[in-house]
């Protein structure tokens, strides 16, 4: 599948209690600071990649900060998802991205770290 637009639609979000629980029970996880990436591979579905983004309330007490971090992560994913789609071979990947740092990194740093995370993910998928 070719990625034409830089969008992040509702269909690309990982939702549904059963699917999320299955992902966390049977998925693999790795740390690529400041992200903790969880992934699980399934048979080819309608949407090739579904993403769940989380920022812990324990580390960021103010909703403004959590929302800002989630916006940054969504933007980094949105602009760099073509690299993720290139890894797929008739599979669906469920991704969970948890932010584990104690401070808010600037956009440029997050983008660089995200690209490093995608490289780690590609090595784990092979």
HSE-CB of 77 using CA atoms within 13 angstroms: 22
Give the Cβ contact number of residue 87 at 10 Å. Answer: 15
Indicate the pairing of strand 49-54 with strand 91-99: parallel
Query: Could you report the per-residue pLDDT of 84-98, keeping only the tens digit for each?
Result: 888 887 888 999 999
Specify whether the CB–CB gap between 27 and 96 falls below 8 A: yes
Residue 4 CA to residue 67 CA, distance in Å, equals 27
2 has pLDDT over 70: no
Tokens read off for 80:
């760099």
Position with higher pLDDT, 115 vs 126: 115
Q: At what angle do helices 107-125 and 63-86 cross, to 10 degrees?
A: 40
Q: Does domain 10-125 sit in CATH 1.10.10.1150?
A: no
- Rounded to the nearest integer, the mean pLDDT of the chain is 91
Residue 4: what pLDDT?
57
Query: Could you report the per-residue pLDDT of 24-66, keeping only the tens digit for each?
Result: 999 999 999 999 999 999 888 788 899 999 999 999 999 999 9
Say what percent of the chain tops pLDDT 90. 73
Give the start-to-end residue ranges of the domains of the chain. Answer: 10-125
Point out which residues pair with 35 in neighbouring strands. 32, 99
Residue 91: what pLDDT?
85
């Amino acid at each position: 599948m070719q990625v034409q637009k830089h969008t992040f639609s509702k269909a690309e979000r990982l939702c549904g209690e059963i699917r999320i629980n299955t992902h966390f029970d049977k998925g693999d996880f790795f740390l690529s600071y400041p992200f903790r990436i969880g992934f699980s591979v399934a048979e080819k579905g309608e949407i090739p990649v579904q993403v769940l983004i989380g920022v812990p309330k324990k580390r960021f007490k103010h909703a403004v900060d959590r929302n800002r971090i989630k916006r940054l992560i969504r933007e980094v994913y949105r602009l760099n998802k073509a690299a993720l789609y290139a890894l797929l071979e008739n599979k669906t990947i469920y991704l969970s991205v948890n932010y584990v740092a104690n401070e808010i990194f600037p956009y440029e740093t997050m983008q660089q770290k995200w690209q490093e995370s995608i490289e780690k993910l590609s090595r784990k998928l092979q």
